[in-house]
């Protein structure tokens, strides 16, 4: 954290609980972890099936966990790898700030502005009701949009900066969807880590 680190910021939204910690990691720490994770991660590109249509996921992913439990979404089942030293360090930091102990981390690599993550909620049944999801961003800043399921005109846009932590809790996954849209801007790669509790 820098001397001028900003306070955690609570989004003012109905039926959700979202906190943004802009300076969760310093810019130097974020770059350090970005470089390690970019190189050490066995990035994979899976085919996903959404509404009966199959296509290559527009980003690369990897799954890590400490309870051996697989995680399934969009007709893909991923089996967790053992946490690496770098991921364990980040996990400890996330747990210290949030007070929540996570079992699993899904990594996303957005190679450029053409990579994205479509509108979804993280509401898989193995996450249980009102799951807490802690999302760490490293590398290029990217837009992160949220919309209220009942009324899409209620929405929010954040830019998730390198070293930031976004914590989603409570009814957020039940009542909101989120997306990382494509961008026409020339952007460098971004790594996102979502810590979850897989039951
Ligand atoms: O990349 C992000 O910021 C979001 C990732 C995400 O929504 C997910 O993996 O479920
Ligand atoms: Fe998500």
152 within domain boundaries: no
pLDDT band per the 50, 70, 90 thresholds, residue 125? very high
4 within domain boundaries: no
51 within domain boundaries: yes
Residues framing ligand 1 (Cβ under 6 A): 106, 108, 117, 122, 135, 144, 160, 178, 180, 192, 194
Provide the H-helix boundaries in the chain. Answer: 27-40, 85-98, 172-175
Q: What values do phi and psi take at 158, rounded to 5?
A: -120, 160
* Ligand found nearest the CA of 106: 1
Percentage of residues of the chain with pLDDT beyond 70? 97
pLDDT band per the 50, 70, 90 thresholds, residue 51? confident
Which atom belonging to ligand 1 lies closest to the Cα atom of 144? 3
Contact 139, 69 (CB under 8 A): no
- Ligand 1 centroid distance, CA of 122 (Å): 9
- What is the domain count for the chain? 1
179 within domain boundaries: no
3 within domain boundaries: no
Helix axes 85-98, 27-40, angle to 10 degrees: 140
Which atom belonging to ligand 1 lies closest to the Cα atom of 142? 3
Which atom belonging to ligand 1 lies closest to the Cα atom of 137? 3
36 within domain boundaries: yes
Nearest CA to ligand 1 atom 1: 192
Mean pLDDT of 152-174: 98
- ipTM exceeding 0.95, yes/no: yes
The whole domain housing 30 covers 9-113+123-139+160-174+184-196
How does the average pLDDT of the chain come out, rounded?
96
CATH number of the domain residue 23 falls in: 2.60.120.590
């Amino acid at each position: 954290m820098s001397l001028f680190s900003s306070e955690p910021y609570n989004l003012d939204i109905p039926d959700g609980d979202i906190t943004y910690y802009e300076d969760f990691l310093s810019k130097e720490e974020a770059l350090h972890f970005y470089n390690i994770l970019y190189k050490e991660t066995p990035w994979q590109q899976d085919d996903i099936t959404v509404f009966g249509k199959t296509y290559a996921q527009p980003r690369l992913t990897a799954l890590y966990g400490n309870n051996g439990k697989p995680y399934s979404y969009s007709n893909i089942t991923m089996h967790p790898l053992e946490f690496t030293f770098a991921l364990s360090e980040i996990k400890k930091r996330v747990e210290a700030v949030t007070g929540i102990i996570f079992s699993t981390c899904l990594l996303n690599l957005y190679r450029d502005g053409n990579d994205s993550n479509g509108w979804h909620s993280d509401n898989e049944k193995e996450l249980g009701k009102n799951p807490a999801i802690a999302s760490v961003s490293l590398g290029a800043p990217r837009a992160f949009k949220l919309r209220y399921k009942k009324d899409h005109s209620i929405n929010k846009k954040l830019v998730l900066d390198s070293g930031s932590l976004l914590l989603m809790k409570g009814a957020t996954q039940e009542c909101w969807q989120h997306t990382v849209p494509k961008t026409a801007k020339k952007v460098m790669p971004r790594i996102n880590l979502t810590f979850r509790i897989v039951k």
